[in-house]
Chain A
Amino acid sequence: MSQYLILLYEDEGAYANAGQDVMNEVLQAHTTFGEKNASAVQGGNGLEPTGSATSIRSDGAGGFTVTDGPFAETKEALGGYYLVDAADLDEAIAIAKQVPARFGGVEVRPIMVFS
């Protein structure tokens, strides 16, 4: 069994403009997803919008540059994640296809194993 992180990349503006009914639907979809995949899902969270993000880069000389905003400016921003158990990539993709992401999509990344 391996672990994968499913990263949710979606359009923040779409959420900002969505009404309460849409937000309720989204919440319900995530609850349903969590219940259906309870054995695989090991954790997950939603993130505050990228307006709250701070990026810290090494300046290569022992110091740091701290900037306002996410690491990469993209149309779809990282907005949440699920940590899941899956036997292999195909199983992880099958779970990822069920993750609610109506304003974008998801990225699947294997968790690195140190032995």
Chain B
Amino acid sequence: MLAATVRVTRDLDLAEECVQDAYARALTAWPVGGVPARPGAWLTTVARRRALDLLRRDAVLRRSLPLLVEDDDQAGPDAIDEIPDDRLRLICTCCHPALAPEAQIALTLRMLCGLSTAEVARAFLVSETTMAARITRAKKKIAAARIPYRVPSAAELPERVEAILAVVHLVFTTGHTAPRGGDLVRRDLVERSLDLARMLRSMLPGNADVAGLLALILLTDARRATRTADDGSLLRLAEQDRGAWDRAAIGEGVALVREALRPRPPGRYALQAAIAAVHAEAPSWDATDWGEIVALYDLLAQIWPSPVVALNRAVAVGFARGAAAGLAELDRLAAEPQLAGYGYLPAARGEFLQRLGRDVDARLAYEEALLLTENAVERQFLLGRLESLRH
């Protein structure tokens, strides 16, 4: 609805006002006249009409204000239903590479997921004033630099979709393991990322990267309920109750992975989703096909060489070929500057050292990992590992 209204106003703030206004009118109109057959269409029409009124009334004033650029043909004012293109335009504007990454995420959550500024601020653990300033700054840049409100050309689209997927993926990872705070998972963010991925899937049904990201979110999130015990403590993959994994999400995810893996070479989200699918389909931890997982990480490292991928690959090697082999792989990454502040590296070292019976070294590794995370659930887990070394 917001997306359709922006197309009339070409101004994000004005569109938001008109949408709020439409809801306010619904509150008075619906109890009297009954809820219309298509409430969404009713609200969109009211919001767009209100926008047109305001634009006509303020035609002179508005001409002097910076407007969002929209260069292609406008649907007539009779077009009641929000066409999917409107939301694609809106997300392309919100995730424009000319905006700062944190502004892209904030705008996307605000404009596409309908979160309030206060909610977006809470999600990123900054004050509401800071977040309001960030959003205002981004809106000003959109207007001043004339960031267009349109679906990019076919030539630009792949690069732009990549930027959008990066935003959605970051919303998901921020929610999946909250960097700070008392809960491991921020459900709200995970669900918003799933909504966005589904929305993109409906807008770009043939895009393998979109299918890959949706699959990755579904397959990873299928384990959500089992990632912590009743007391809130962290459960590793090996300890999770596989019977409680969300089978519907896994089924949907696996089907999407098959589709996403078709291009050669497959994209990064498709490969990450394929790894998640191997775990999802393994009947037990011991029956996991670690050789397959190492092979998928090898492919991933080729198209997406990053220290974190190398770290995950090293851990998989440890399970495929034994703790000593895994430890050797991890130690090769010890000098990687990008991993210097990354707690998973010492945590994984501690795990393999403990398996090898090197308790003194394992203790040092867990203690190092403890210094690097502020997530209460992760800290509790590491303290538990230290405790297990005492026996």
Q: Interface of A with B (CB < 8 Å)?
A: 2, 87-90, 93, 108, 110, 112, 115
Report if B145 contacts A (CB, 8 A): yes
Report if B69 contacts A (CB, 8 A): yes
**Interface hits, B282-321 → A, CB 8 Å:** none
Given contacts A89-B69, A89-B147, 17 further A-B contacts (CB under 8 A): A2-B146, A87-B69, A87-B146, A88-B69, A88-B71, A88-B146, A88-B148, A89-B96, A89-B145, A89-B148, A90-B148, A90-B156, A93-B98, A108-B145, A110-B144, A115-B63, A115-B64
| Chain A residue nearest in CB terms to B97 | A93
Contacts of A2 in B (CB 8 A): 146
A54–B375 Cα distance when bound, in Å, is: 51
Question: In the complex the two chains form, is A88's CB within 8 Å of B64's CB?
Answer: no
In the assembled complex, the CB of B64 is this many whole angstroms from the nearest CB of chain A, namely 5
Report if B101 contacts A (CB, 8 A): no
In the assembled complex, the CB of A7 is this many whole angstroms from the nearest CB of chain B, namely 14
Contacts of B156 in A (CB 8 A): 90
SS class, residues of chain A in contact with chain B:
mixed
Contact with A along B146-174 (1 / 0, CB 8 A): 11100010001000000000000000000
In the assembled complex, the CB of A38 is this many whole angstroms from the nearest CB of chain B, namely 22
Contacts of B64 in A (CB 8 A): 115
Across chains A and B, which 5 residue pairs bring their CB atoms closest together, nearest first?
Answer: A88-B69, A88-B148, A88-B146, A89-B145, A115-B64
| Chain A residue nearest in CB terms to B156 | A90
A87–B144 Cα distance when bound, in Å, is: 13
Contacts of B152 in A (CB 8 A): 90
| Chain B residue nearest in CB terms to A93 | B98
Contacts of B148 in A (CB 8 A): 87-90
User: With A2-B146, A110-B146, A115-B64 in contact, do A89 and B98 touch (Cβ < 8 Å)?
Assistant: yes
Contact with A along B218-236 (1 / 0, CB 8 A): 0000000000000000000
Question: In the complex the two chains form, is B98's CB within 8 Å of A87's CB?
Answer: no
Select the residue from A88, A90, A112, A115 with max chain B CB neighbours within 10 A: A90
A112–B66 Cα distance when bound, in Å, is: 10
A2–B69 Cα distance when bound, in Å, is: 10
Contacts of B145 in A (CB 8 A): 89, 108, 110
A115–B61 Cα distance when bound, in Å, is: 11
Q: Can you offer 27 A-B residue contacts whose CB atoms are under 8 A? A: A2-B146, A87-B69, A87-B71, A87-B146, A87-B148, A88-B69, A88-B71, A88-B146, A88-B147, A88-B148, A89-B69, A89-B96, A89-B98, A89-B145, A89-B146, A89-B147, A89-B148, A90-B147, A90-B148, A90-B152, A93-B98, A108-B145, A110-B144, A110-B145, A110-B146, A115-B63, A115-B64
Contacts of B98 in A (CB 8 A): 89, 93
A110–B69 Cα distance when bound, in Å, is: 13
In the assembled complex, the CB of A10 is this many whole angstroms from the nearest CB of chain B, namely 21
In the assembled complex, the CB of B61 is this many whole angstroms from the nearest CB of chain A, namely 11
| Chain A residue nearest in CB terms to B68 | A88
Contacts of A89 in B (CB 8 A): 69, 96, 98, 145-148
In the assembled complex, the CB of B164 is this many whole angstroms from the nearest CB of chain A, namely 15
In the assembled complex, the CB of A94 is this many whole angstroms from the nearest CB of chain B, namely 8
A103–B145 Cα distance when bound, in Å, is: 26
In the assembled complex, the CB of B5 is this many whole angstroms from the nearest CB of chain A, namely 20
Contacts of A93 in B (CB 8 A): 98
In the assembled complex, the CB of B74 is this many whole angstroms from the nearest CB of chain A, namely 16
